[in-house]
Structure formats: structure tokens, C-alpha cells
Amino acid sequence: MTHQPTSKQFKANARAALSNEMVQTAMGKVGGGFVGKRAAARAEVPEFDALRDAARDVKNHTLANLDLYLERYEAQVQASGGHVHWAETAEDARDIILGIVAEAARSEDGKAIVNKGKSMVSEEVALNPALEEAGHKVVETDLGEYIIQLRGEIPSHIIAPAVHVTKEQVEREFREAHPQFDADRTFPDAASLVREARTVLREKYFEADVGITGANMLIAETGQSVIVTNEGNGDLTQSLGRVHVVIASLEKVVPTLDDAATVMRVLARSATGQPVTVYTTFSRGPKRAEDPDGPEEYHVVLLDNGRTNMLSGEFQDMLRCIRCGACMNHCPVYQSVGGHAYGWVYPGPMGAVLTPSLIGVEEGGQLPNASTFCGRCEAVCPMRIPLPRMMRSWREREFEKHLTPSATRYGLGLWAYFAKRPSLYQFATRWAVWKMKLFAGRKNRMSWLPFAGGWTAHRDFPAPEGKTFQQIWAERKR
């Protein structure tokens, strides 16, 4: 079965996450590591902001000429002996890959063994469920993806899929999934869990008929796909299977190798705080006669799935995203509720913009409201994407379509009635301040307040300490 988006139920998802002790324990460890490492990596590069400007300009130029660069990329892949497939929808992408996998199967029953590197686009098109429903065996080789595959979950983070899972939970999953090992074995630390996963996954690489990877970038000049990893699983996945399939969205293309290098300098620093990831792998076409190893077939599936509709519109800037995860690492909302609360593939601020762009504001319109508008997401984005501005645009569209709760709409209407009448507004706010001070009493705080149950259920509401802003402003003018 494919994963059905629950973005429309964000509030309920968030409440469940906030009351989940395990999720809260895991998420409490997220912010510090990513945030601190990014800050340190940024400080080591004095020209980092200039690099951000250069990377942004590369992507803007590419998006303005996307058709030309995609055609050039296709020609280069074909010249190397590879095949390019164009998928307008998620269903098209699934059908194309199912066909490739079925042809690659070496077993008598026509079922293939498929190894996968981490790919958010494959999550977007629900590729794993489709392959499994067709009878193929799918193995995620990225450690985080392997853990959530065992748990039957979707990623909670775009670069650390299992960030919401504790060490104790991973240990339980491994004991159940790996009965071939001694039941009394111990896991004193995370490294011991990594060793067990490596032992299991090493065997899988040599069994695979097909290796499927995503792509951090596609280079039009050379026809190469680029993946960045820290585990080396991507290299083994794409080189040991008889067939290598790359699945990527259209906007991943960049013009030249130099442009790819520019983006690379901001990618790892923004994502994990590294100058560069442990492995940066370029692939292009099937193996040549003189190559000792590599895939016999090379396929690239280019996914649209609504992205061309974003071109030349108010959400085009979102297509600059390089999936570093910096916005969610710094987002107080994401750090509180985790990725699953967002109900689909892309969480955090980038998901709050991209999700309604891809599945519609009717399904994803709750997500742009999951923001304090503190602006940290835009401040740390290596591609300078104006996330708060686009979230405001989605809020406006949600309001225009009457998708916001009635209470919210009536509340905004009531506020607008007073705001358009300054004298009445000033009288009402003075009366409210006086009433709240009276209600607070000597404690100068309130444990209950009408229409503020979401606040007072967890903390007291402080009473106003003095006059309204308008009163103070008027006095200062006098």
C-alpha cells in the first residue's frame, strides 16, 4: 500500500508527537548537533555568504533555462550509452521503474532483488510499496532508511531519516529482524549497532539485480549524476547491481561541473556541518568495455510531478532547494514535533512550502501555519530561499479557499472590524488591558483565558503590566 498523506491532520499529528515520550526524547537531541556543526563549518569559510549568492544565481539561471539544460543532459546521457525516461507524474515514474526492474529480474519467477540508496524522490512517488506489491524484494542500504524500513515508517528528516528513533528502539528492531545472530549479543553503543547493520547489508549488495539511487545534482555538461553520502552505500548500490536506475526531479540539473562544485561547497556545510561528505560520487552511463565493474544498464528517470507548474510563479524559488535540511534543523516547530507530524515526505519549513505545491493546498494547507515566522529558516538556507514569504502566500491561498477553520475566519473578521476603526480599536484594547489586570489579581498572571486554552493548558498567561502601545505612543508624542 502507498503512504497516504496526512498533512491535513497536522494539528492532530503534532499533538500526538508532543505526547509521545520517545519522540520527544529523540527530537530533544536534534537541534544542538546540527545547529552547532553548521555554525562551526560556516565560520571556517569567510566567503560563505558569497558562496550562497553564487549558488543561488546558478540555480536561478538554470531554472530560467531549464528546458535547454535538461535536453543537453539527456543528450549526454544517451551519448554515454544510458537511457533517459521522462515521468510527468508519480504514477508514471513508478510504472517506468517497475518495467525496468521486471526486465532485470534473474529469478525464474520474474521477481528482482532491488537495493536502494537514500532518495526522497523515491519516497515522493511511493516507489518501495509499488515494488513490493509487484513481488520484488527491496532493501534500503542507507542506515537510517534501513531502520525505518524495518519499522514500516517514512523518513522523519530528509538527511537523517531515523532521527526520531532512539538507540533502544533500534536495538529492539535489530534483534527481531536479525534472528541469525546470537540472541544474547550486546549493543553497548551506537557503533555496535552500525557494525551489525553493515554485516547484514554487505551481503545484500552482491545479491541485487537492480540498484536505485537518487541524485543530489545532474550535470548537463557531462551527463553525470552526483550523490553525496557518508556511508559508501550509494557507491555499492549503483556499481554492483546489473542495472543502475537514477530517479531525480527536474530541478536537480545544473549547467556545468564548476556549478556543481559551487553548490557542493554550501551543501555539506549546511546539512551536516562537514566541509564535504565522505563520499561524493559521479556516475555516467553503463560500464565500458575496459571497465572492471559497474552496471550493464544505466537509466535516469526524470520526475516532474507538478514542478513545471511552479516555474515562473511565486513558488519558483522553492525549486532552488538542495535538500540540505538546514531549515528544519533550525525550526522550533520541527524540533518540537518531528517530521512525521507533517504527514508526508517533506517536513519542516521546506515541506510547508513544497507539500502544498505538489499535492495541493487542500491537502497540505495546514503546514504553512506550522511556523512562528522567526525567520531562522531563511537566514540559514544556503540557497537563500524566502521560505517565510512563501508560507505567507500559502496561508493567503488557504484563507481565500475558505479552508481555514470557521473560528479562525470569524476571529480575523472581528479583529479586522476593530482594526479599521482606530478609535474603537483603542477603546477596546484599553478596556481589555484593564479587564485582564483585574482578572489576574495579585498573582499578575492567569491560568485560564477565553480563546487561549492552547496556551494556558501548559503555562500561565502573564497579565499586561501597564498601558497599551497606543497610549504610550500618544504620551511620547505629546
Q: Model confidence over 437-460: pLDDT tens digits?
A: 888 888 888 888 887 887 788 889
Work out how many domains the chain is built from and give that number: 3
The amino acid occupying position 407 is A
Does residue 2 carry a pLDDT above 60? Answer: no
Share of the chain above pLDDT 90, in %: 78
Is 257 among the domain residues?
yes
Does residue 406 carry a pLDDT above 70? Answer: no
pLDDT at 4: 74
Single residue among 404, 423, 439 that ends a domain in this structure = 404
Beta bridge partner(s), residue 300: 84, 246
pLDDT at 3: 63
pLDDT at 5: 84
Residue 414: which pLDDT band, with cuts at 50, 70 and 90?
confident
Is 339 among the domain residues?
yes
pLDDT at 222: 97
C-beta of residue 299 within 8 angstroms of C-beta of residue 246: yes
Q: How far apart are CA 259 and CA 365, in angstroms?
A: 34
> Do 22 and 92 fall into the same domain?
no
Is 317 among the domain residues?
no
308 Cβ contact list (under 8 Å, min separation 6): 250
SS3 letters across 330-352:
CCHHHHHHCCHHHCCCCCHHHHH
> Do 208 and 286 fall into the same domain?
yes
DSSP conformational letter for 458: T
pLDDT at 1: 40
- Find how far residue 27's CA is from the centre of its chain: 16
Share of the chain above pLDDT 70, in %: 99
Is 91 among the domain residues?
yes
Considering only residues 32 and 302, tell me which one the structure prediction assigns the higher pLDDT.
Answer: 302
pLDDT at 443: 84
Single residue among 376, 404, 432 that ends a domain in this structure = 404
> Do 70 and 39 fall into the same domain?
no
Reported pTM: 0.88
> Do 372 and 411 fall into the same domain?
no
Residue of 186, 204, 217, 284 lying closest to 62 (CA atoms)? 217
Q: Model confidence over 118-165: pLDDT tens digits?
A: 999 999 999 999 999 999 999 999 999 999 999 999 999 999 999 999
Q: Model confidence over 273-326: pLDDT tens digits?
A: 999 999 999 999 999 999 988 999 999 999 999 999 999 999 999 999 999 999
pLDDT at 156: 95
> Do 359 and 425 fall into the same domain?
no
31-45, 65-79, 268-282, 403-417: the lowest-pLDDT one: 403-417
Is 384 among the domain residues?
yes
Single residue among 404, 422, 451 that ends a domain in this structure = 404
Is 315 among the domain residues?
no
pLDDT at 450: 81
> Do 67 and 161 fall into the same domain?
yes
Between CA 43 and CA 187, with CA 279 as vertex, the angle to 5 degrees is 95
Is 313 among the domain residues?
no
- Find how far residue 65's CA is from the centre of its chain: 25
The CATH number that applies at residue 244 is 3.40.50.10420
> Do 36 and 182 fall into the same domain?
no
C-beta of residue 101 within 8 angstroms of C-beta of residue 89: no
> Do 276 and 415 fall into the same domain?
no
Q: Model confidence over 84-117: pLDDT tens digits?
A: 999 999 999 999 999 999 999 988 888 999 999 9
Residue 157 domain boundaries: 47-303
pLDDT at 79: 97
> Do 77 and 205 fall into the same domain?
yes
C-beta of residue 334 within 8 angstroms of C-beta of residue 279: no
The amino acid occupying position 420 is K
Is 316 among the domain residues?
no
| Mean pLDDT computed over 228-235 | 94
Q: How far apart are CA 105 and CA 102, in angstroms?
A: 5
Report CA-CA distances (Å) from 419 to 97, 99, 334, 393, 423: 56, 60, 33, 22, 9
> Do 149 and 86 fall into the same domain?
yes
> Do 257 and 384 fall into the same domain?
no
pLDDT at 444: 86
> Do 101 and 195 fall into the same domain?
yes
